[in-house]
Amino acid sequence: MKELFEKKQDWADSEVQQIEYSMLKGILGCRTTEAVEAAITYASYLNFTGITNGNYPVFLNILTVRNHHVIDALLGTRDPFLFMSSIQPNYFIVSTCFAILTKYRKAEITPRPWASSWACSRPRTTRPSTATRSIRRRWPT
């Protein structure tokens, strides 16, 4: 028994971070009910913190989850067309959105997550265009 307490194992910070990362990937995999619930909680927390230029890749990663409950928790009560309006569009955002789109099949995309990425990739205007207003009428939030 004394030997158990004498042998100590030290964990490097990188090893602990690797374990945390693998657990987070398991949560975002949404393969179990518990993982989906944890992903919803994580997405709600991200919604609470808000999207910035420093954390938008995490938000894009949540959009890849393909679980509408998680995406709804990420968007919360915000207008999907304005969700990413606080960050500057760039190549990474556009390429990630197109990469996500290639993984979906026909009629599998729900309107809410793509409204936010579409609104971020288009040029900013002071007044919504006619096309934007018609899309908002067709896609209830």
121 domain-assigned? yes
Burial class (CB within 10 angstroms; exposed 0-12, middle 13-18, buried 19+) of 11: exposed
In terms of residue numbers, what domain contains 36? 11-138
Rounded distance between C-alpha atoms, residue 130 and residue 135, angstroms = 9
Task: Give residue 7's pLDDT band: very low, low, confident or very high (50, 70, 90).
Answer: low
Please indicate, yes or no, if residue 3 is contained in any of the structural domains.
no
What pLDDT does residue 115 have? 52
pLDDT-derived band at 2 (thresholds 50, 70, 90) equals low
pLDDT value of position 125:
44
Question: Is residue 70 one of the residues assigned to a domain?
Answer: yes
Global pTM? Answer: 0.67
**pLDDT over 80 at 18, yes or no:** yes
Nearest to 140 by CA among 75, 87, 56: 75
Give per-residue pLDDT as tens, 46-83.
999 999 999 999 999 998 888 889 999 999 988 888 88
Tally of domains in the chain:
1
Two tokens at 42?
């994580």
Residue 1 maps to a domain: no
Per-residue pLDDT for 42 more than 80? yes
Give a yes or no: residue 2 inside a domain: no
pLDDT of 102 reads 86
Q: Is the pLDDT of residue 97 over 90?
A: no
Structure-model confidence comparison of residues 133 and 89, the more confident one: 89
Q: What is the mean pLDDT of residues 16-33?
A: 92
Residue 71 domain-assigned (yes or no): yes
Q: CA torsion 41→45→47→53, rounded to 10°?
A: -130
